[in-house]
Amino acid sequence: MNGVANDPKIAEALSELQQYLSDAIAPLVVADSISILLAVPPEVVADEIRNWTTSQHRRLGASVPISDYLYHAIRKLYVMGEFRLVSKEAMAAYLEVLKNYLLAFCPAEDRDLLRENLGHLADARSDLEAPIATLHRAAKDQGAPVASQTTATSKTVVDAGRQFAQLVERLARLQIPGGPGESPSAAREDVFSQLVSVAARNSGTSEEFERAKDSLQAFGMGSTMENVFRSLGRRLPGWVVQEQPESEAPSAPVTATARAMERIVTLEQDPREAARRFQELVQAAIEQCNEGSLARAVTMLDLASLLLNEKKVDPVYIRGFREQAHGKLDEQRLRQYAEDATSHALLRRVLVFFPALGPAGLLDALRVEEKRERRHLLLALLEVHGTPARVQAAERLSASISTFGDRDAHYQRNLLYVLRRIPHPEGSVSDAEVQMAIRLSAVGRPVILLKEAVAYLGQVKDERTERALINRVGEYEAALLKPGSLGTENAELLPVLDRIVFALARLGTPAAIRTVVNHGLKRHPQLGDTAARLAPLAGTDLSGDPETINRLVQAIEAELPHRVFGFLLKKDWSFLLRLIEVVSSSTKAQPVRNALADMVQRFPGEEFAQAAAKLLAGAELPPAPPLQEPPQSASLSGDLELFGLPTLLQNLSQSTASGILTITDPIGEEVATVVLENGKFRDCRSGQLTGEVALFQLIERPTPASFSFVRRSGAPEGAGSEPSRDLVPLFFEGTRRYDEFQQACMLVPDYACLRATATKPTRAPDEDDVALTRMVWQRAYSGAPALECEKDLPVDSYRVRRMLAHWIEEGALEPR
C-alpha cells in the first residue's frame, strides 16, 4: 500500500484531492487527478480523506461533526461523475466501496445518520461547484443534506464557481442548440472563452489558472496562451467607451472579459512569464486590428498600457518586443483606418502604444524611407496623431534648416506637408513657422520643396504670406526671363509659378488680385501660359477695385481686331475670350458693361461678341428668387458595425450635436432611432422599447445595420418628455449589461429550450419586478426557447436572460 502512495503521480493526485475537498480548486481542474485515483485501491483514498477530515476538525473544533466532513468528501467525489468529468459508472462503483471505509471511521453516534444521508446523494442539489467555503453537511433531522458556511466566502465567488461548473457541463455535452448558421465549433469556442474568463477572474494563483486552462484540452480546446487571448479578444464588445480625455492614462477594464485578460497577466509572479503573457495579449490585439476589429484592439492595447503604467509588467523584458511588434500590423488595414476620419480617434490609441508608430518614431522613419507608398502611409499616420505630430514636425523643420539645409529636401518637403495638413490648434501659425516656409519657397531651392512651400503659404491667409507670394511672382518672372541663370530649366519652374499665382488668386485680397492680373497680361513666352493663370479669377467680382477693372478693360480693347480696307483681320481670339471670362462676374462695373456692349455692336456674329452678348443678357435678368430651404439630408451615415453604437454616439456627443440618429437593417427597414440634444441623450426607440431601456437593448444586441444622422437645431421632434442626460454613464451601464448578457447567453443560448426541475425557483438578484419574474418563469416553464421568453416584454434582453441563467445555476431549470 505504501508503494502505491509513494508513486509520484498518485501522490500529486492525492494532494489535489485535498485541495478539491477544501474548495481550493474547481472540479474541472482536478478531473485528471480523480481519474488517476479511480484506479488505486479505495482504502488509499479513504486514508487521505481521513487525514483531511482530522486536519479540518482540529482547525474548526467540535462545531462541525466528523460525519459532516465525511459526507462532504463523498458528495465532492459524487459530483465529478454527475458533471461527467469522470466516468459516472466508474465513480458510482468506486464510492460503493469507499463508503464502507469512511463509515468505519465515522463516530458510532453519527454512523447511522451518515449511512442514511449517503443513500440520498442523487436527491441533493449539485452546488458543490462553488469554490472555497461550502461544506455539505449531513442533516441530523432529515435525509436531505444541507450546506453550511465554514468561511466568509463572497456570493460572487460562489456564483462564479457554479457558473464555471455549469459551463463545463455544457461544453462536455453541447446539447443546447445554437442559432441559425451558428456552427458547433463556434459554440464551443464561445463556451471555452467564457470558461477561461471565469477561471482567470477567480483563480488565486497562476498555477491554479494554468491547471484550469490545461484541463480544457480534454474537450479539444487549445490551451496555449495565444489561443486564450485570441479567444477572449473575440468576446470583447465591438466598441470602446471613453470616460476621460485621450491624453490621460487608460482607465481600468470595464468588462469582465477585459478583467480576465488583466488577471491572466497579473497572476503570474515570474516576471519573464508575465512578460510572455503580456506579449501574447498584444499579439492578440494586433490580430484583432488586422481583422478589422479596431475597437477590440484598442481595448486590449489600453489594457496593456495600463499594465505598463501600473508596473504590473517589468519593462526590461518587453522593451525589445514593443519596439518590433508594430511590424506585425497589416499596412493595408492601417491605410484604410487612416483614410477614414471617423476611425482616427481609435487608431490614434493603437498607434501610441507602439514607440515606432508614435509621432517621433514615424518622423524618424519618414526621413530614411525610400519607398513612395510607404512614405504616404507614414504621412497619413502622422495626420492621425494631429497636434503632437505637428509640433514635432515644426521642431524638426527648424532644426533641418539650421543643420543640413537642402541636403534632405524630400524630408523638409514632407515636414511642410505635415504642417499644412494638420491645422494649428490655435487657428493661426507662428511667425517663425511662416518664415521657414517663406525661406524654403525662394528661387533656387529644389523644385519638390518649392511646390510644398508655396502650397503651405497659400493656405495661410494673412499679410505675411501675401507679401511673400507677391514678391515670389516677381522673383520667378525675373528668373524665367533670364534662362540658365539658376541652372534650372524653365519647365521645372513654371509649375511652381502656376502654384504661386493660384495661391494669390485664392487669397482674394486687392493686392493679390492685381498681381495676378498684371502677371496674366504679360505675353512673354518664357513665362508660359500667363493667360491661363487668370482662370481662377473668373468667379470673382472685381467691380470693387476700379484699378483692376480699368486694367482689364484696357487689355480687352487692345485685343479687339482692326479693319484694313474694310476687312476684319482674323486672328486667334483665345486670349480675348479668356479676358471676357475673367470679367464675367464683374458686369456690375460700368466700364465692363460698356466694353461688352461695344463689342456686340461693332463685331456682330463674331465668337467673342457672342460671348459678350450672353454676359450682358445675363446681367440684365431680374434677380433670381430666393432659394427654398433644401430638404434635410443625412449629415453623417455609414456602417454601424464598423463604428459601434457607443463609439458613434460618443463622437456625436463630443461635437454637441442635436438631431436624430436612424438605424436601419440590411434591407432598409428602420430598426431604431436615437434622439440627441446638444450632445446629450434625449430619447431612444427600438421596437416596443423606449428611453434608456431601448438604448441598452441596442448595446446588448448589436446587429449588422447602417445609420444616418440628420442634424436639427434645438430640441428635435419626437423627443420624449424626460430631460437630456449625459451619455457616458448610460454607456457604462449598457456595457455592464452587455457583459453580463453575454455571460448569461453562454449558459442559455437564444434557442435553448428549458424544463423545470423539482427545485423551487427563487428571484434573481436585484430583480424586484415580481410580475415580470412570474411571466418569464411561465414562458420558460412552458418550454419556450430563451429568445421567445424575451419577446414583447417591456424590458431589455439582459434582464430576462439573467433570470434564466439564475434558474439554471440554482437548478430550477435544466436544458431539455
Band of pLDDT at residue 361, cut at 50, 70 and 90: very high
Residue 205 pLDDT greater than 90, yes or no: no
Residue 732 pLDDT greater than 50, yes or no: yes
What was the pLDDT predicted at 133?
37
3-state class (DSSP) for residue 471: helix
Q: Which residues contact 560 (CB under 8 A, 6 or more apart)?
A: 576, 599, 602, 603
Residue 216 pLDDT greater than 80, yes or no: no
463-488 burial code (b ≥16 CB/10 A, e <16): ebbbebbbebbeebbebbeeeeeeeb
What is the rounded distance in angstroms from the CA atom of residue 449 to the CA atom of residue 441? 7
Mean pLDDT of 106-121: 82
In the chain, the percentage of residues whose pLDDT exceeds 90 is 29
In the chain, the percentage of residues whose pLDDT exceeds 70 is 80
What was the pLDDT predicted at 540?
85
Contact criterion met (CB below 8 Å) for 16 and 37? no
pLDDT averaged over the chain? 81
Neighbour tally for 89: CB within 10 Å: 9
Q: Which of 244-253, 449-458, 690-699, 798-807 is predicted with the least confidence, judged by mean pLDDT? A: 244-253
Query: pTM of this prediction?
Result: 0.70
684-703 burial code (b ≥16 CB/10 A, e <16): bbbeebebbbbbbbbbbebe
At residue 750, φ and ψ (nearest 5 deg) are -55, -40
Mean pLDDT of 133-152: 39
pLDDT in tens, 441-478: 988 888 899 999 999 998 888 888 999 999 999 999 88
What was the pLDDT predicted at 564?
55
3-state class (DSSP) for residue 695: helix
- Which has more confidence, 462 or 139? 462
What was the pLDDT predicted at 664?
93
What was the pLDDT predicted at 253?
65
DSSP 407: G
Contact criterion met (CB below 8 Å) for 301 and 353? yes
Most confident by average pLDDT, 75-84, 86-95, 682-691: 682-691
pLDDT in tens, 626-667: 434 444 445 678 888 767 788 888 888 888 889 999 999 888
Contact criterion met (CB below 8 Å) for 775 and 717? no
- Enumerate the H helices of 626-769 as residue ranges: 640-643, 645-654, 691-700, 727-747
pLDDT in tens, 271-308: 999 999 999 999 999 999 999 999 899 999 999 999 99
Band of pLDDT at residue 774, cut at 50, 70 and 90: very high
Per DSSP, the residues of 344-401 read HHHHHHHHTTSGGGSHHHHHHHHHH---HHHHHHHHHHHHHH-HHHHHHHHHHHHHHH
Contact criterion met (CB below 8 Å) for 167 and 176? no
Residue 136 pLDDT greater than 50, yes or no: no
* Residue 134, all three cell numbers: 461550502
pLDDT in tens, 777-805: 999 999 899 999 998 899 999 999 999 98
What is the rounded distance in angstroms from the CA atom of residue 797 to the CA atom of residue 791? 9
Closest CA to 581 of 621, 536, 620, 631: 536
Residue 197 pLDDT greater than 80, yes or no: no
What is the rounded distance in angstroms from the CA atom of residue 166 to the CA atom of residue 191? 10
Residue 685 pLDDT greater than 90, yes or no: yes
Closest CA to 366 of 408, 334, 406, 404: 408
Closest CA to 93 of 35, 48, 38, 40: 38
What was the pLDDT predicted at 711?
86
Residue 620 pLDDT greater than 70, yes or no: no
Q: Which of 46-50, 529-533, 808-812 is predicted with the least confidence, judged by mean pLDDT? A: 808-812
What was the pLDDT predicted at 720?
57
CA dihedral over 136, 140, 144, 148, signed as positive or negative: negative
DSSP 153: -
Residue 485 pLDDT greater than 60, yes or no: no
What is the rounded distance in angstroms from the CA atom of residue 408 to the CA atom of residue 405? 7
409-421 vs 387-403: helix crossing angle, rounded to 10: 150
What is the rounded distance in angstroms from the CA atom of residue 411 to the CA atom of residue 448? 10
What is the rounded distance in angstroms from the CA atom of residue 393 to the CA atom of residue 307? 30
What is the rounded distance in angstroms from the CA atom of residue 463 to the CA atom of residue 52? 90
Q: Measure the CA dihedral 475/480/483/484, to 10°.
A: 50
